[in-house]
Amino acid sequence: MEKQRVLFLCTGNSCRSQMAEAFLRTYASQYFKAYSAGLEPKPINPYTIQVMEEIGFDLSGQTSKNVSVYLGKVLFKYLITVCDEAEKNCPSTWPGINTRLHWSFEDPAKFEGSIEGKMAKFREVREQIQAKISTWLEEQNIPLQSD
């Protein structure tokens, strides 16, 4: 069985799309090849790395990438935008995309406050993304696995 390619797209590819890529890669690598990219990529946010490490996910192999790395070069079964800006600004035509989905998550990097407050916001968004990935896989009758 050929693995289906999934691209998680965000504006900066520094938080939400990185988390989604890590969760899908861990939970369903038998079925999917997970990728992430951004319209205006920035380095992976240190809080993203930290909150993912808290639950046993190592992002050291992931990097922030521009969507142009994939546009017209890699065929994806799914394109999933994880922020409203990416949904608004994503190219409307993308060769090879079978299914385009939009999952709106708040940008934890925009939260202003104490370090504890920022960490709490990153954890909240992490939990939302983890739950959405789990639900999406259940809807497709794909059992969760862990590496």
Q: Is 90 a catalytic residue?
A: yes
Which one from 83, 86, 109, 129 is the annotated catalytic residue? 83
Q: Helix 16-28 and helix 46-54: axis angle, to 10°?
A: 30
Q: Is 83 a catalytic residue?
A: yes
Which one from 37, 82, 90, 125 is the annotated catalytic residue? 90
Q: Is 10 a catalytic residue?
A: yes
Q: Which of 80, 69, 74, 76 is nearest to 17 (CA)?
A: 80
Q: How far apart are CA 65 and CA 117, in angstroms?
A: 28
Sheet order of strands, 4-10 included:
32-38, 4-10, 78-81, 99-102
Beta strands in the chain, from DSSP E residues, in sequence order = 4-10, 32-38, 78-81, 99-102
Can you list the alpha helix ranges (DSSP code H) found in 29-114? 46-54, 84-89
Q: Which residues are catalytic?
A: 10, 83, 90
